[in-house]
A and B are shown apart, each in its own frame.
Chain A
């Protein structure tokens, strides 16, 4: 096994693309080192991306925010501007692991680990986040929901690295929220989760919405019918009932030790409703 610490993304991409054996990207290592220890992965090459300029920074851009692939989740929680603009994304990222893990784990790692239960992913999908992918043939920007394709699998081609996550500027009277269900109060894996992002008009009517459900299918679900249930209405009881129904219906969950299919369906609807109410209040709706 080799360990390298490239100083440029081009070098990292070149090393990744040119690796004959399995190679792994190391940022926080909170998934990778556990998988290596368990014998689930045996990389021949470890590419530590933390010395690449800019990858440890959160930048405010003309379009919004660019969060580098090596920014630990703890740093997201310390960024006042990001927290103000995207409280749902930040609260989701802050739910990952203990304080020790927070100091290392990243949202790009959470995305590329491709667990259906990843906490930050439904929030990023609801927020309309995009991933900047750098590869041997150049750079492309893709919707976050197109990255995971199945548990543990992504759409990234050989040699491709996600360099940053882009979040837009929030429109006026907009806000997001994220909620998950776990059987204890802290530090557990989501049984089911929901992220909602809403934009309101001056009268408090929803004009734009994105609803995402986690841990209820092989990959995160963007529930378009959930958005349709809310758009054009205030958050009245009928709209919330419709939201809960379509979210429950969109789920394709499994039965496992953490929850049954029936439980996950029901709770997906409940969490979507509550996340929508939180987002609505944060956006200034009454």
Chain B
């Protein structure tokens, strides 16, 4: 099988890779580029653990082909912190203990980043609906919602 040559932008950097035509963007990120923040939960778009932002739209990277990324702009959890300084969402997830096993956390962080970019002052209901595509089997969601509410306050003040 011939590889597909792809040139794309990931977290602001131009990245080039070769992938197979049936390889998902999730597999490219994890196995070819070493960006293991996005996790494979279900592999069928149900759990949100592999969420990334593709041209300003939240998507499941397991439901995108690596070949489709040509010329597009991808944001992953690895792009959230600036050097050693955590993104306010990351900081608040730590402070609120909004994670236990951590598998769902990168997906929640990216989904919450997308949510706050489009709606900087969401209600609790809007947060719960906005994050409904991300499953967490540990926390019961409440601490995640509190962390996002708190981060929204910090980010508005920034």
Report A's interface with B, CB cutoff 8 A.
1-3, 5, 26, 28-30, 33-34, 36-38, 46, 48, 50, 72, 74, 97-101, 103-104, 186-187
Contact = CB atoms under 8 A, between A and B. Distances in A.
Given A1-B21, A100-B51, A74 B63 contact: no
Given A1-B22, A97-B45, A186-B132, A34 B57 contact: no
Interface stretch (B9-17, B65-73, B89-97, B139-147): B65-73
A48 to B, nearest CB: 6
Contacts of A97: 45, 133
A5 B68 CA distance: 9
A34 B21 contact: no
B43 to A, nearest CB: 6
A103 B68 CA distance: 14
A71 to B, nearest CB: 12
Contacts of B51: 100
B44 to A, nearest CB: 5
Given A99-B111, A101-B45, A33 B133 contact: no
Given A72-B57, A98-B48, A100-B133, A34 B65 contact: no
A74 B44 CA distance: 19
B64 interface: yes
Interface string B87-112: 00000000000000000000000010
B43 A37 contact: yes
Contact of A33 (B4, B54, B62, B134): B62
A187 B45 contact: no
Interface residues of B, number: 31
A243 to B, nearest CB: 31
Nearest to B51: A100
28 contacts: A1-B20, A2-B21, A3-B4, A5-B70, A26-B65, A26-B68, A29-B64, A29-B68, A30-B63, A33-B24, A33-B63, A33-B65, A37-B44, A38-B44, A46-B22, A48-B68, A98-B134, A99-B58, A99-B111, A100-B45, A100-B58, A100-B59, A100-B133, A101-B63, A103-B54, A103-B57, A103-B59, A104-B57
A37 B114 CA distance: 27
A104 B63 contact: yes
Contacts of A46: 21-22, 65
Contacts of B158: none
B21 A3 contact: yes
Interface string B126-139: 00011011100000
Contact of B22 (A36, A74, A98, A101): A36
Interface hub of A26, A38, A100 (most chain B Cβ within 10 A): A100
B21 to A, nearest CB: 4
Contacts of A34: 44-45, 63
Interface string B5-41: 0000000000000001110100000000000000000
A33 B62 CA distance: 8
Top 5 nearest A-B pairs (CB, nearest first) are A98-B133, A103-B57, A3-B21, A100-B60, A100-B133
A28 B63 CA distance: 8
Interface string B44-56: 1100100100100
A29 B129 contact: no
Contacts of A26: 65, 68
B132 A74 contact: no
Contacts of B2: 2
B132 A99 contact: yes
A97 B1 CA distance: 33
